[in-house]
Amino acid sequence: MSRARFSAIFLAVLLHAPLARAEVILQWFETPYAEIEARMPEVALAGYSALWLPPPTKGADGVADVGFALFDRFDLGDRDQRGTVRTRYGTLAELQSMVRTAHRYGIRVYFDTVMNHNSNPSRVEFQGGPATPPNMLEYPGMTPLDFHVWPANPTGTPGEYNARRPSEFGGGTINVRPWQDNCPANTICEDDFIAAVAIADIPAEQLPPGGANHPALQGYTHLIRAPRMNFGGLAGQNWCAPQDRGNGCAYELLNASLLGLIDIANEQLADSSGPTSGDGTNLVTGTPLISYVRSADRPETYPSSSPTAEDSRQYLIRWIKWLSETTDADGFRLDAIRHTPESFFGEDYPGDPVAFDKVIQDSFDERRGYSDGNDDDLDGDAAIFGESFTGDIYGELNSYRRTGMRLLNFPLFFRLKGVFYSGADSGDGDMGQLSYPHGGQTGPLEEFGGLGRWDGVSFIQSHDECPPGTPVRNVPNCIPGENPQDDLAQAFITMRPGDSVVYFDGNNFTESTFVRAGRVDALGDFQDAIVKIVRATEDGARGGMFNRYVDDDAYVFERIVDGYGAAALVVLHDNIKPDGRVDGEGIAKFGGFDPRPLIVTSFPPGTVLMDLTGNAPVGSEVLTVLDPAVVSQGEKDNAYAAHTNANGGNTFVPPDHGLIYFGVRNGPVGNYLIYAPAGVSPQLEIVVGGSAAPSENVTTSQGKVTHVGANVPASQYARYQVPPSFTVRVPVTSTVGAVAGLTVDSAVPAGLSPLSATPEGAADGMGTMSTSGNAFEAQLSGLTAGEHLVKVRVVSDVAGAASRLVTLRALVRVEGVVNVDAGVRNDAAVDDDAGGQQTPDASVRDAGQRDAAIPDGNVVLPDGGTPPDSGAPADSGPAGDQDNDGVDDATDNCATEPNEDQTDFDGDGVGNVCDLCPATQGANLVDEDGCPQLPPDVRQELDELVEMVVGIRPENQALDQDLDGDLDAVDIARAVVRAQDRR
Amino acid sequence: MRTLTVVALALLVGAGACPNTTSTPPTPPPEVGRLIAVTRAGSVDVEIDSSLAPLAVAATVKVQGARVAGAAQAGSAAADRDLFKQKAFNEEDMRFAISDSRALRIQRSGVLVSIPVDGTPTNVEVTDITAASEDGSEVILKGFNGAPEARQ
């Protein structure tokens, strides 16, 4: 097949997004593009359908900048600025290669997007960064008047100004004293990062007509940055929803700076409640929105390569179109949406010609060759979801939702914080709250205490937030993998309708509270709990959601597809306390007494269900749905009563329902189950010449994993070795009423005709597999050398039986020569695929290499475990290059471990292989292990405390952190946490 | 919903037994694992086996039947942790504490400390253990008292 034809088919399949099937998005931060690209097979095999990556734009802090302190929005790692060409994550070429690889595997890519603020050169985003005022004259492509600035005059006291207060804040003037702690009335004192610029110093072309004589500036000598205001509001005026603006309620963020960054002045509110403006002119202040040629040196960023004058809104519109095309992104997560009025994002706002969301969708349609009349049906649309730390569902979130974006579901996130505490019978610990409002597929915005199921993107943790079980919010990390009920919460949000997020930091832990640590097992490292949930979601999270059992510690619901029947049964149980409510075999009890409840199910009697989580206790792995006729009346009565309770008193039971017994483990591990119909082999068979193709286990790259122990093995996945022609086979119990579709690298392979009109449309567009006895088969031929992803989906719809949908994937490496017997790959035949894309092998270490690089738990390190202070020398080597990696010790960023490439992700001077803290952010000083140094006095206090605990220094009760009268390990731990917070 | 739940429980219980769901005794710190002593050539090693990686551990080790021959060293489970102090009470006992100022946790399994000894210990006690998780809450590691198993 020609490359061109292959690509065209790929696009057609990639863009197919069956309606009402949720995707699980892997939020993947703190990881270079090259590493992400190398692990793309794992992403696909795990069943993720999309990646959410950090802002791709150059940050003010260069390689140390996570990306939210945006510096130049047209620099994606291709301009030498802020001390680096590459961004924190790589070069533009690496970004584009990574996206191409993602698309080849059928993975959509969403970039985080900062559209409403800039930063230069402040590092206020990072702990320990200097509070340097941004220089408002040094923003690439922007001028001071693009930002929320107030005209002002110095009062004579250094740093103090009398500023003209905007009319929406009451007009008149206000005294600004950022240096003052005790704030007098009618004075602003909160902002530590205020910056001023003399109007006389501003180039004429950056001022409105009339320059300093413009009405907005007349009588003033300076511009000052709009002060950062507390979330509590200004002068007693609290944040308010958009519809309340103008009713005595200020909107503090739209006109203010964000944490030392500066909002871009793109407001264009056209209703009567805000700073009403006509196109191009703010009608309150009379100030024209400054318009000029902003990127004269980069004509390629303009449509038709022709630089034209723009105001800040037009500038941002041009940018997001350019960003969409340059990255080929499939969507964006929009940062801090409430710093920008909703009219900026949406269409149909009178007098406002810009629509940020629509530009994204139109670019997506244009790049994919798509004609899409509905940009908000999740079918063939770019993903757009905004961030707002608020639970204001009716006001703020609703108004932004109407612009066409979805919202990160913070209301649900806030609710989940308290739901999974076990043992409680009311209030926050009541998991039964999740059952509200007792069924249905879609609902009003307030549903589940959050957004409507398809209006929100659900998450339980992120780069900003720890998961719900974390007992203390501001710990340096979120205790990855050890938060009680993490898996339970993740299972809930992914199995309910709507899109959801799994947060991963590549296991590149940082010691900062930003970015927070993610799930260590997001890609199957260490354990496969999350991967199993994601796979179960892909196949089972279809259709509506209906309650089957509810109490304070347990919630059982089913997903049901209209017209096809039940798809999955989900069991959640959060009682993990040893309080007598658990039986002797570690089985959780429902209602406090019943370890083996009987519940109503929509799966037809006789359906064989299998647990997809691997958590089912012995006897519950595979279950057969019972006919109610064979169950005693007393048991049925109890089951129906529980069902009525779970549905708000409604006594309705599904027609042709069955009943089912099951058990679930006592938590906190494995206390959830996901059942779906059995009948399809759990894995693909790859056949060469009538025999199973040889495979090798590929050990993944797993980051530094400092916190969970370097002796814990990373995950492995099988990669089959095949010649250009081979067979893919899927055994099933029956092919009656079933079809199977196949793709290779998201395209229909040559020789297979596309399927259509498959049940639920789930396999439409995939290549048709033929039947062979009780199996589906497809002969593949002509595949190019290199790695390919084979994806198969089996769907069935038989009257009277449960519908079935199973998705299977396998990774194959097409080689010229295959040694079938040895099962060892032929390295000589390994090459890139025809498209010249980077294959993972260059970056993925095999098991042998990993063992060499990471000591196991019982190996005493070369220094014999001596504390670092002792300075024990490492193994000797050739003079000047002790690790024999070709880099002289004098310049080697890790002189004791071979690292020829000198990779240093955080740019702290300590190479990754030596760096215990490989993603350090914003630290001016790091120790020999690459971790931020504590102030000497703090470090000394910790040393002394430890000496007191062991008894070689007299106790100082002032260091008794928990006030229990003893100095012990608890005091040490708390002192460490406090020291980190003070750093 | 609360009322409805109670109704359902009553129906499910049938015979009238009512689950006691109101008692909320103080929650003791969770037991997350243990410390054990083993012997290797020339040393007594205290090993950790825990479901949670603690941020700080302190314990006292009493060695009987052999003489503590020198300063203990942090083992693989605590390698590179920068807060490690010890006190040898006498030739049989030592007390240690391990943590890390950078909040790097101790590994869940492996050798915590290795104590050089002359002779073959007949009994080892690991007592007075305190441990804390990364959020500063106390967790329980069980102690050890017995003849240590010999390992390679």
**B68 sits in which H/E element:** strand B67-68
Tokens (6 digits) for A136: 């408002």
| pLDDT band with cut points at 50, 70 and 90 for residue A193 | low
To the nearest 10 degrees (0 to 180), the angle between helices A92-104 and A3-14 is 80
Q: Quote the pTM value.
A: 0.78
The end-to-end CA distance of chain A, in Å, is 58
- From B67's Cα to the closest Cα of chain A, the distance in A is 20
Whether B152 and chain A come into contact, CB under 8 Å, resolves to no
In the prediction, which pLDDT does A951 show? 92
Q: Which of A482, A579, A590 sits opposite B52 (nearest CB)?
A: A482
Is the distance from CB of A657 to CB of A607 less than 8 angstroms? no
Interface of A with B in 836-865 (CB under 8 A): 855-861, 864-865
Helix axes B2-13, A633-646, angle to 10 degrees: 170
**Can you tell me the mean pLDDT for A1-10?**
36
pLDDT band at A350 (very low <50, low <70, confident <90, very high): low
**Averaged over A815-828, what is the pLDDT?**
40
What residues are paired with A297 via a beta bridge?
none
How close is the nearest chain B Cα to the Cα of A512, in Å?
Answer: 10
**Residue of A466, A510, A645 to mutate, testing the B interface (most B Cβ within 10 Å of its Cβ):** A645
pLDDT digits (tens, 9 = 90+) for A562-587: 999 999 999 998 876 554 444 445 77
Query: Which of B6, B46, B83 best tests the A interface by mutation, with the highest count of A CBs <10 A?
Result: B83
Task: Give pLDDT, residue A305.
Answer: 93
Q: What percent of chain A has pLDDT over 90?
A: 41
Looking at A703-707, A838-842, A930-934, A958-962, which range is the least confident one?
Answer: A838-842
DSSP string, B98-130: EE-TT-PPPPSEEEEEEEEEES--SEEEEEEEE
Section A189-209 average pLDDT: 76
**Whether B5 and A943 lie within 8 Å, measured CB to CB:** no
Distance from CA of B83 to the nearest CA of A (A): 7
Q: What is the pLDDT of residue A45?
A: 95
Q: Cβ atoms within 10 A of the Cβ of A558, count?
A: 25
Asked if the model's pLDDT at residue A546 lies above 70, the reply is: yes
Q: Can you give the pLDDT at residue A320?
A: 97
Interface test with A, best of B21, B36, B94, B149 (most A CBs within 10 A): B21
DSSP three-state, residue A263: strand
Is A874 an 8 Å CB contact of chain B?
Answer: no
Q: In what order do the strands lie in the sheet with A456-457?
A: A456-457, A406-408, A383-386, A331-334, A108-113, A50-53, A24-28, A500-504
User: What is the mean pLDDT of the segment spanning A337-351?
Assistant: 79
Read off the DSSP letter of residue A395. I
Q: Of A642, A710, A977, which has the smallest distance from its Cβ to B12's Cβ?
A: A642
Say how far apart CA A470 and CA A472 lie, in whole Å: 6
pLDDT in tens, A676-700: 999 898 889 999 999 999 999 887 7
The residues in A 543-572 lying below 8 A from B, measured between CB atoms, are: 550-552
Find the range with the poorest average confidence among A78-82, A136-140, A157-161, A707-711: A707-711
Q: How far apart are CA A491 and CA A493, in angstroms?
A: 6
| Minimum Cα–Cα distance from B58: chain A residue | A969
A396 contact partners, CB below 8 Å, separation of at least 6? A241, A242, A338, A388, A390
**pLDDT tens-digit map of A418-468:** 777 654 433 456 788 788 665 434 456 666 667 888 889 999 999 988 887
Nearest to B132 among A551, A927, A969 (CB): A969
| Choice among A226-235, A519-528, A678-687 with the minimum mean pLDDT | A226-235
Pairwise CB contact (< 8 Å): B130 & A471: no
A963 interface with B at CB cutoff 8 Å: no
Most confident of A389-403, A477-491, A962-976: A962-976
Q: Which band of pLDDT confidence, cut at 50, 70 and 90, is reported for residue A133?
A: low
- Whole-number mean pLDDT of chain B? 80
From B95's Cα to the closest Cα of chain A, the distance in A is 6
In this prediction, residues A56-85 reach a mean pLDDT of 91
**Does the pLDDT at position A503 exceed 90?**
yes
Q: Please give the average per-residue pLDDT across A541-553, as a whole number.
A: 89
Q: What does the block give as tokens for A422?
A: 């076990």
Over the stretch A606-641, which tens digit does the pLDDT of each residue have?
999 999 999 988 778 899 999 999 999 999 999 999
pLDDT (tens digit per residue) in A137-180? 788 888 888 887 888 999 998 889 998 876 656 668 888 887 77
Q: State mean pLDDT over B95-104.
A: 89
B56 at interface of A, judged by CB pairs closer than 8 A: yes
Q: What is the dihedral of CA A339, A340, A342, A348, to 10 degrees?
A: 180
Interface contact B74, partner A, CB < 8 A: yes
Question: What local confidence, expressed as pLDDT, does residue A144 receive?
Answer: 81
> Mean pLDDT over residues A944-970, rounded?
91
**Ramachandran sector of residue A499 (left: φ over 0; alpha: ψ -120 to 50; beta: rest):** beta
Counting beta carbons within 10 angstroms of the beta carbon of residue A401, is it exposed (0 to 12), middle (13 to 18) or buried (19 or more)?
A: buried
How much is the average pLDDT of A903-909?
A: 80
pLDDT digits (tens, 9 = 90+) for A645-675: 888 888 999 988 999 998 888 777 788 999 9
Counted across chains A and B, CB pairs separated by less than 8 A come out at: 228
Is residue A930 within 8 A of residue A906, CB to CB? The reply is yes
Higher pLDDT, A817 or A352: A352
Question: What pLDDT, on the 0 to 100 scale, is given for residue A121?
Answer: 58
pLDDT of the residue at A866: 32
> Does residue B104 belong to the interface with chain A, where contact is any CB pair within 8 Å?
yes
Q: What token pair was written down for A218?
A: 């007349």
- Mean of per-residue pLDDT scores for chain A: 78
Shortest distance, CA B111 to any CA of chain A (angstroms) = 7
Q: What is the DSSP letter of A626?
A: B
